[in-house]
Amino acid sequence: MTSPPKQDRSRATRQRLLETTIHCLATDGWEVSTVAFIAARSGISRGAVQHHFPTREALILAALEHMFSSRAALLDNLPEPTGTGPERVHAVVTGLVDAIGGELFQAALQVLTAAAADPDLRAVVVPLERHFARGVHTRAVRLLGVDDTDPAVRALIQATLDLARGLALANILTDDTRRRTHVIQAWSTQLAAALS
């Protein structure tokens, strides 16, 4: 059996580094997630890590871009909602909350928090976050099947996405599933009424 071509191995190594970086950021935090720590967690030598990413910043930023594209893919893979009215709205809001939260959110939160205190990091992160936010908004509009040229509808979509981020934040320290379920149901009912 032949080994995979060097380019495929390099791509697989890069992918593993990005995924390990995201996991380390989410579970161990910004300060702990050094190149040496990520290398040890990924089982890849520090030299190999630095071959792909010469600095910690390069690795973190590549992981952040990967995070945003992975989160966008989660939203793209939400099933097309069935039904109409409140059932459709509830399915979409639930899907948005689930896709926006989780490990990817926890990792992004670590980077965003670090960027708040680091102007150089913030200068790179803010455009990525804005691009991601626009993409999420577009996907929410498509899934809800609404026209967001109406400022009131646009504000409702934004409130829904802010709610999803807030629920993801509330779930970081403790399992907030029960309360989250009630909040999603209540908001979905209000949103469906407002959109109709």
Q: What's the DSSP call for residue 77? A: T
Radius of gyration of the chain (CA): 19
Percent of the chain, pLDDT > 90?
A: 52
For the stretch 73-88, pLDDT in tens is 887 887 777 777 888 8
**Res. 99 pLDDT band, cuts 50 70 90:** confident
Quick check: is 20 in a domain? no
Quick check: is 169 in a domain? yes
The pLDDT value given to residue 3: 61
Amino acid letter at 22?
I
Quick check: is 94 in a domain? yes
Quick check: is 74 in a domain? yes
Quick check: is 33 in a domain? no
Q: And the tokens for 121?
A: 């990091």
Quick check: is 32 in a domain? no
CB-count burial class (<10 Å; 0-12, 13-18, 19+) for 49: buried
Sign of CA dihedral 138, 141, 142, 146: negative
Quick check: is 118 in a domain? yes
Q: Which has the closest alpha carbon to 33: 45, 19, 22, 48?
A: 22
For the stretch 40-83, pLDDT in tens is 999 999 999 999 999 988 998 899 888 888 877 887 887 777 77
The mean per-residue pLDDT over the stretch 4-8 comes to: 71
Three-state DSSP class for residue 98: helix
Quick check: is 154 in a domain? yes
**Res. 4 pLDDT band, cuts 50 70 90:** low
Domain count for the chain: 1
Please list, in sequence order, all residues whose beta carbon lies within 8 angstroms of the beta carbon of residue 22, skipping any fewer than 6 positions away: 63, 66, 67, 70, 103, 104, 107
Q: And the tokens for 117?
A: 């205190």
The pLDDT value given to residue 57: 86
CATH number of domain containing 190: 1.10.357
Range of 98's domain?
62-195
Start-to-end CA span in the chain (Å): 61
